[in-house]
A and B are shown apart, each in its own frame.
Chain A
């Protein structure tokens, strides 16, 4: 039986996606796990593979269209099936369901709820009562009215302008202060059901974020005169740019940052790197100072575990693993792929992994699971000659280390001024989990390791 297919939610944080490319055209047969289309999400261009078998009867969203999860994108069914009724259904919810094209004004949300995809529609084969039929055709249960939190109406997870959730889920959301807008529903038509909320509640809870304020762009007041003389060129926000704007504003506004800066002797780690690379010469591989620093941070996090923590609303989460997020610049933003269990990997393996992840990041091929769930971040701008800077914490992590350039300068060693190399690092801490003394203790431990790399073996 033909059905309307909604835009799949390809990552937990995906609030909208852009249809980058249809891999199938109308009339094509589709098997389970066939590539249907590529969807550009906030983090990457993801492959949408089919869960269903059938024929792509109708494409409802053109390439380049930006939609919210569950908005209708296609009709699947059997070859030659009549889809007039489904098309009418899509049309009736057209305002909410129609993809908003780039730079088209956003349509108003409708007040009528179309039948959800996958909902039962009366089949022509329903046995007709010989008497007057008394049962109305079954419809998908209408979603409850939208929830308003802090005066802000919830955004949709269905394509009918509403968050669709069971009453139990709404009660649980009130009880546990869960924002249902971020929850992916696995019930019919994307309905959020108890198992979805249980899954969310079982995750480490990020620091509770107050109702997200509009990013600065929304309150931008232009200098009228300059605009009249030289109107600026407008660039539409990419999904990634929107996410960066939202998450960093949330972090800076809600996470109490404080900063600790330390200078370390960079000679030993540079020497260590040179020796390792000499060993590697035949294999053609290389490690960078950054690879060694990732390893050093991981060891320091094992030695001072109080930094390897997250603030989770009503509790602190002490992470049992050391997963280091590495900030990678990509053409239109930045991503943070994660090196898992960095404390248990050798520097060569870490280097290999970082390069692989960075390439994937630049090619937009990173999977959500490859860039989520880090416990600590490193951001290095040394290659640009930056001496030191303060990085913004990547919630729900408790800290981030900003690494500058290795400077050649005169230093005092054994009472004499000699040429030396120095590296300055600034740690940003979430004061809710990392106090000043704890952060300082960790930085001291890190300095010790960097200045005597052999101690990584301890």
Chain B
């Protein structure tokens, strides 16, 4: 084990998979000469050359479509979006082609492609660069949606996603690139299966399911409330589709309460999906309604003081937890 950043963990995953499998290549805006808009692909151009690390024009529909075609003909592309907000330009390629091709071709064309890039809020990048896109892609059968919160999960899940024969939407927390954490030594080749949640922190009073940026805020709140004797069980689903319902339900059966914390807008999405599944599978174990703490239901404001109000922060999380504990 050694401590590296989430950014480097992602780069290592790509480099190791490109080493292992010559069919894997990276394509996107600024991935090569500029070393990546967020420096995730730093060093890959030197290591693998311009044939496998391809800078593209600003044309998401174009290079995502090229990626889908490449995957259909046997390559294993990794498509980087400079931010997931721009993926909407390529929405048709992702949803109509990548996700549906295997089924529409009666299994003749698997599409082993990974779309990756930074997701959700950062700091003052405005409404069109702060979008948490997981609800859109989680809604599509045929896509896997992966969203790691820690460097170790980022590396293990990205390696699994690259090896997967189906399209994967790989969401990276834009504010998480500098987060450091323990990652197995290079060459250990740890892969983490999709659809396997992780109990990050054990507790007995309430189950909190969270991913991405709020993951760290929840841990901070959990540590603070622990001083009051409130023990919070924190679960990181790690992949939102497939979703590991069992781990969450088992936890709720123990704690009788559940809070879901996410950055995506409150209407629908994986947050609401978790509420639905827990209600169905753990109904007789619930002592309180399942509540969600989310970003507010507005486009992200640019002004910092308003942005801070919109993003789900420690106060909103703590209040929601107290509400389900009937301790408001």
The answer to whether B265 and A168 touch across the interface, beta carbons within 8 angstroms, is no
The answer to whether A193 and B287 touch across the interface, beta carbons within 8 angstroms, is yes
The answer to whether B296 and A168 touch across the interface, beta carbons within 8 angstroms, is no
Q: Which residues of A contact B285 (CB under 8 A)?
A: 167-168, 171
Give the segment of A86-94, A131-139, A242-250 that binds chain B: A131-139
Q: Which residues of B contact A188 (CB under 8 A)?
A: 326
The answer to whether A129 and B284 touch across the interface, beta carbons within 8 angstroms, is no
Q: Which residue of the partner chain B has the closest CB to A141?
A: B289
Is A295 on the interface with B (CB-CB < 8 A)? no
Is A102 on the interface with B (CB-CB < 8 A)? no
Is A410 on the interface with B (CB-CB < 8 A)? no
Q: Which residues of A contact B267 (CB under 8 A)?
A: 134-135
Known: A141-B289, A168-B285, A170-B284. A193 touches B297 (CB 8 A): no
The answer to whether A129 and B286 touch across the interface, beta carbons within 8 angstroms, is no
How far, in angstroms, from A135 to B297 measured CA to CA in the complex?
7
Report the count of interface residues on B (CB-CB < 8 A): 16
Q: In the complex, which range does the number of interface residues on chain A fall in?
A: 20 to 34
Q: Which residue of the partner chain B has the closest CB to A166?
A: B287
The answer to whether A168 and B266 touch across the interface, beta carbons within 8 angstroms, is no
Is A186 on the interface with B (CB-CB < 8 A)? yes
Is B256 on the interface with A (CB-CB < 8 A)? yes
Is A12 on the interface with B (CB-CB < 8 A)? no
Is A31 on the interface with B (CB-CB < 8 A)? no
Partner of A130, one of B256, B265, B266, B299: B299
Is A297 on the interface with B (CB-CB < 8 A)? no
Q: Map CB proximity to A onto B253-275 as digits: 1 under 8 Å, 0 otherwise.
A: 00010000000011100000000
Is B1 on the interface with A (CB-CB < 8 A)? no
The answer to whether A168 and B326 touch across the interface, beta carbons within 8 angstroms, is no
Q: Which residue of the partner chain A has the closest CB to B328?
A: A188
Q: Which residues of B contact A169 (CB under 8 A)?
A: 287
Q: Which residue of the partner chain B has the closest CB to A144?
A: B283
How near does chain B come to A458, taking the closest CB pair, in angstroms? 49
How far, in angstroms, from A135 to B296 measured CA to CA in the complex?
10
How far, in angstroms, from A130 to B299 measured CA to CA in the complex?
8
Is B298 on the interface with A (CB-CB < 8 A)? yes
How far, in angstroms, from A129 to B267 measured CA to CA in the complex?
12
Q: Which residues of B contact A257 (CB under 8 A)?
A: none
How far, in angstroms, from A222 to B287 measured CA to CA in the complex?
49
How near does chain A come to B249, taking the closest CB pair, in angstroms? 14
Which of B289-311 touch A at CB < 8 Å?
289, 296-299
Is A187 on the interface with B (CB-CB < 8 A)? yes
Is B288 on the interface with A (CB-CB < 8 A)? yes
How far, in angstroms, from A31 to B296 measured CA to CA in the complex?
35
Known: A130-B298, A134-B297, A168-B256. A194 touches B287 (CB 8 A): yes
Is A127 on the interface with B (CB-CB < 8 A)? yes
Q: Which residues of A contact B283 (CB under 8 A)?
A: 167
Q: Which residues of B contact A130 (CB under 8 A)?
A: 298-299
How near does chain B come to A203, taking the closest CB pair, in angstroms? 19
Known: A135-B267, A186-B326, A194-B256. A127 touches B287 (CB 8 A): no
The answer to whether B296 and A166 touch across the interface, beta carbons within 8 angstroms, is no
Q: Which residues of A contact B299 (CB under 8 A)?
A: 130-131
The answer to whether B296 and A134 touch across the interface, beta carbons within 8 angstroms, is no
Q: Which residues of A contact B289 (CB under 8 A)?
A: 141
Q: Report which residue of B283, B284, B298 has the largest number of chain A beta carbons within 10 angstroms of its beta carbon.
A: B284
Q: Which residues of B contact A166 (CB under 8 A)?
A: 286-288
The answer to whether A168 and B287 touch across the interface, beta carbons within 8 angstroms, is yes
How far, in angstroms, from A166 to B283 measured CA to CA in the complex?
9
How near does chain A come to B276, taking the closest CB pair, in angstroms? 15
How near does chain B come to A256, taking the closest CB pair, in angstroms? 36
How far, in angstroms, from A311 to B286 measured CA to CA in the complex?
32
How far, in angstroms, from A168 to B283 measured CA to CA in the complex?
7
Q: Which residues of A contact B284 (CB under 8 A)?
A: 167-168, 170-171
How far, in angstroms, from A169 to B267 measured CA to CA in the complex?
29
Q: Report which residue of A131, A133, A167 has the largest number of chain B beta carbons within 10 angstroms of its beta carbon.
A: A167
Q: Which residues of B contact A127 (CB under 8 A)?
A: 296, 298
How near does chain B come to A139, taking the closest CB pair, in angstroms? 10
Q: Which residue of the partner chain B has the closest CB to A193?
A: B287
The answer to whether B298 and A129 touch across the interface, beta carbons within 8 angstroms, is yes
Q: Which residues of A contact B296 (CB under 8 A)?
A: 127
How near does chain B come to A174, taking the closest CB pair, in angstroms? 9
How near does chain A come to B309, taking the closest CB pair, in angstroms? 8
How near does chain A come to B225, taking the closest CB pair, in angstroms? 18
Q: Which residues of A contact B286 (CB under 8 A)?
A: 166-168
Q: Which residues of B contact A133 (CB under 8 A)?
A: 297
Q: Which residue of the partner chain B has the closest CB to A134?
A: B267
- The 3 A-B residue pairs whose C-beta atoms are closest, nearest first, are A171-B284, A134-B267, A168-B287
23 pairs, A vs B, C-beta closer than 8 Å: A127-B296, A129-B297, A130-B299, A131-B298, A131-B299, A134-B265, A134-B266, A134-B297, A135-B266, A135-B267, A135-B297, A166-B286, A166-B287, A167-B283, A167-B287, A168-B284, A168-B287, A169-B287, A171-B284, A187-B288, A193-B287, A193-B288, A193-B326
7 additional A-B pairs beyond A134-B267, A168-B256, A187-B288, beta carbons within 8 Å, are A133-B297, A134-B266, A135-B267, A167-B284, A167-B286, A167-B287, A194-B287
B: which residues have CB within 8 A of A?
A: 256, 265-267, 283-289, 296-299, 326
